[in-house]
């Protein structure tokens, strides 16, 4: 069976590059397309008296390189087809458009096609123009294949972005001249190293993914064109991934970073890594550096600067600082830094020390007390309810298919937290107001999202009724008070196919239930109302956003209430 094409927001695969460049220019009045070659993006107004900076290569690595054209960044960029070098003619057009007496430096990520086409264009331009202040800088920051013997050198990766941030500043702000800027550029590259890790390869527009990685595998050192890396290994936690990358980087031949060295770090998204993953990886990176004694971090940058279309992966770049100006560059806005979040971190892990908050045991004693035997039955009922809900995890998750599929898991988290608190003796069952307030705090603390808020609100609102009384009428009023709070803030009403339906049935079943038979009637009403939600159309909660035909099973929240009620009733009255 042929592999499926990965869908993308494009018009036609063969027009992807030009369409993308048109969009970039239309959205930024500081940019323009070359009038005769739309593969070339230029600054609408060139900076005065500054060395021109050109870069480029195959498309698919955006924002590299066209996205870096602009203030304190590149003067021009040349884009080939996806993962294919631009023609030497396009590079020549760019050189003609930007080169002045100050000269031009052309930056090439180190791939054979790019070296040939950019080199050809430079030689042709120099021969025709007689301009000698034009030269190439090869970016070869990949350290993953250092052990392989070849004459090609490392591949060009995200180190291009840190390089451009620095040289753009030096050219435009500090007005550094051609020869010095050329030497500095090569020095920056020589002191830059990058190591990448990928969980899923990319897909070229109109094509399936370039290859498949097993679900339990990751590739170390995968190239930005899908080239093989240095090792395919079992997937690991973020902290292990970061440790592997940083160990390879700091010990690499080109960096050999010592604990006395000043350095800059870039965490780059290869295309499809989520922001929450990047946050985790940033934290693990800074923790590893602190724990391993690399205290002299001067800047930390995180963002999407050198991609492999939609690859799910990241790369880490370290620049070993040789000049204070390299660090100063990261304090100046540029067309490169606009894609980055840049900080000056202080590697003080004490900032992460967790201070224990007050928990349910710190709730002051509230309300009237009940007899010890009744309190024991109350505790048994709560524990039984928690046990029952744990056993229903899978069923509740299955019923939650119209929502987000985690109702059972969320309530299991709550049940375990309640049972732990009971085991620790933190809940005061002799004072119902206190106990209900404490249970509400457990939900607030341990359960996030809508579920935590609903149950915390229910128990908090209902608990107030036990301040002056603990009789059956009080329980009935507490139930109604809790229900009213849920309806007020959750906007759910009876008939909306939510947990409100069984709670409302309980409130209406018997007025002030007094004995076991009355409570049995209440529980039966709850169970019937929960099952009847299968016949309703959801009008509240996430299920309300789904089609009515998908809502053919009982609401999981309602079934959870019925589960609680039946288990608590049986335990309170000693039923097996």
Residues 274, 237 share a domain: yes
Of the candidate ranges 271-285, 309-323, 485-499, the one whose mean pLDDT is the lowest: 485-499
CA pair distance 186, 200, nearest whole angstrom: 32
Domains contained in the chain, number: 2
Asked, for residue 509, whether it belongs to a domain, the answer is: yes
* Spatial CA neighbour of 433 closest among 482, 369, 513: 369
Asked, for residue 1, whether it belongs to a domain, the answer is: no
Name the active-site residue from 225, 312, 476, 504: 225
Residues 508, 407 share a domain: yes
Per-residue model confidence (pLDDT) at position 546: 47
Span 56-69, mean pLDDT?
98
CA pair distance 64, 42, nearest whole angstrom: 14
Asked, for residue 10, whether it belongs to a domain, the answer is: no
Residues 432, 309 share a domain: no
Point out the domain boundary residue: 319, 350, 381.
350
163-191 pLDDT, tens per residue?
Answer: 999 999 999 999 999 999 999 999 999 99
Residues 527, 489 share a domain: yes
Residues 163, 125 share a domain: yes
Per-residue model confidence (pLDDT) at position 457: 95
Asked, for residue 191, whether it belongs to a domain, the answer is: yes
Residues 346, 378 share a domain: no
**For the sheet containing 52-59, what is the strand order?**
31-34, 37-43, 76-82, 52-59, 104-109, 134-139
Asked, for residue 6, whether it belongs to a domain, the answer is: no
Residues 152, 295 share a domain: yes
* Spatial CA neighbour of 469 closest among 426, 500, 512, 438: 512
433-475 pLDDT, tens per residue?
Answer: 999 999 999 999 888 778 889 999 999 999 999 998 888 888 8
Point out the domain boundary residue: 350, 385, 415.
350
Q: What is the CA radius of gyration of the chain?
A: 32
Residues 276, 387 share a domain: no
Residues ≥6 apart with Cβ < 8 Å to 6? 203, 207, 208, 209, 310
475-530 pLDDT, tens per residue?
Answer: 889 999 999 999 999 999 999 999 999 999 998 987 767 778 888 999 999 999 99
Range of the domain at 194: 15-350
Point out the domain boundary residue: 316, 350, 384.
350
Strands 76-82 and 37-43: antiparallel
SS3 133: coil
Asked, for residue 364, whether it belongs to a domain, the answer is: no
Is position 339 annotated as part of the catalytic site? no
What CATH code is carried by the domain that includes residue 569? 1.25.40.340
Residues 319, 278 share a domain: yes
Asked, for residue 138, whether it belongs to a domain, the answer is: yes
Residues 393, 261 share a domain: no
Residues 235, 163 share a domain: yes
What CATH code is carried by the domain that includes residue 104? 3.40.50.10440
Asked, for residue 306, whether it belongs to a domain, the answer is: yes
- pTM for the whole structure: 0.82
Q: Name the band, by pLDDT with cuts 50, 70 and 90, for residue 360.
A: low
Residue 100 Cα distances to 41, 48, 133, 185, 576, angstroms = 17, 10, 9, 19, 91
Q: Name the band, by pLDDT with cuts 50, 70 and 90, for residue 547.
A: very low
Per-residue model confidence (pLDDT) at position 146: 87
Residues 303, 246 share a domain: yes
Span 522-551, mean pLDDT?
72
């Amino acid at each position: 069976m042929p592999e499926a094409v990965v869908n993308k927001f494009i018009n036609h695969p063969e027009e992807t590059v030009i369409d993308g460049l048109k969009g970039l220019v239309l959205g930024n009045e500081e940019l323009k397309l070359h009038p005769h070659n739309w593969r070339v993006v230029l600054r609408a107004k060139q900076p005065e008296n500054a060395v021109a900076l050109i870069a480029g290569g195959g498309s698919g690595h955006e924002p590299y390189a066209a996205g870096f054209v602009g203030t304190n960044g590149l003067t021009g960029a040349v884009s080939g087809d996806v993962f294919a070098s631009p023609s030497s003619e396009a590079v020549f057009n760019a050189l003609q458009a930007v080169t002045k007496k100050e000269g031009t430096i052309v930056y090439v990520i180190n791939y054979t096609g790019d070296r040939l086409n950019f080199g050809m264009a430079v030689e042709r331009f120099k021969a025709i123009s007689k301009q000698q202040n034009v030269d190439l800088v090869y970016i070869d920051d990949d350290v993953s294949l250092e052990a392989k013997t070849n004459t090609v050198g490392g591949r060009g990766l995200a180190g291009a972005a840190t390089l451009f941030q620095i040289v753009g500043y030096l050219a435009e702000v500090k007005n550094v001249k051609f020869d010095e800027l050329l030497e500095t550029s090569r020095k920056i590259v020589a002191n830059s190293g990058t190591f990448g890790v990928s969980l899923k390869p990319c897909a070229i527009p109109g094509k399936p993914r370039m290859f498949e990685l097993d679900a339990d595998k990751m590739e170390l050192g995968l190239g930005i064109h899908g080239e093989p890396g240095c090792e395919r290994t079992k997937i690991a936690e973020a902290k292990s991934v970061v440790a592997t990358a940083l160990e390879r980087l700091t010990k690499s031949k080109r960096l050999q970073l010592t604990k006395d060295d000043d350095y800059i770090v870039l965490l780059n998204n290869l295309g499809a890594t989520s922001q929450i993953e990047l946050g985790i990886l940033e934290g693990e990176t800074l923790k590893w550096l602190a724990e391993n004694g690399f205290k002299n971090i001067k800047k930390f940058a995180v963002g999407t600067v050198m991609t492999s279309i939609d690859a799910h992966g990241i790369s880490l770049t370290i620049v070993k600082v040789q000049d204070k100006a390299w660090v100063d560059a990261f304090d100046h806005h540029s067309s490169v830094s606009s894609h980055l979040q840049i900080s000056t971190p202080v590697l003080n892990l004490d900032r992460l020390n967790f201070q224990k908050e007050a928990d349910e045991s710190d709730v002051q004693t509230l309300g009237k007390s009940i007899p010890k035997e009744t309190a024991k039955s109350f505790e048994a009922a709560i524990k039984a309810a928690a046990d029952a809900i744990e056993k229903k995890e899978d069923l509740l998750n299955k019923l939650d298919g119209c929502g987000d599929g985690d109702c059972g898991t969320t309530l299991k988290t709550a049940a375990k937290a309640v049972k732990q608190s009971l085991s620790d003796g933190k809940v005061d069952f002799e004072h119902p107001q206190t106990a209900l307030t404490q249970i509400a705090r457990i939900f607030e603390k341990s359960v996030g999202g809508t579920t935590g808020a609903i149950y915390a609100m229910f128990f908090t609102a209902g608990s107030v009724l036990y301040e002056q009384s603990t009789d059956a009428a009080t329980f009935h009023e507490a139930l109604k008070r809790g229900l009213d709070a849920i309806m007020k803030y959750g906007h759910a009403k009876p008939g909306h196919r939510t947990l409100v339906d069984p709670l409302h049935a309980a409130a209406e079943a018997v007025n002030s239930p007094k004995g076991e038979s009355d409570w049995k009637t209440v529980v039966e009403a709850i169970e019937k109302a929960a099952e009847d939600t299968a016949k309703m159309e959801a009008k509240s909660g996430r299920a309300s956003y789904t089609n009515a035909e998908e809502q053919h099973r009982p609401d999981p929240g309602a079934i959870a209430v019925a589960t609680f009620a039946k288990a608590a009733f049986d335990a309170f009255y000693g039923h097996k």
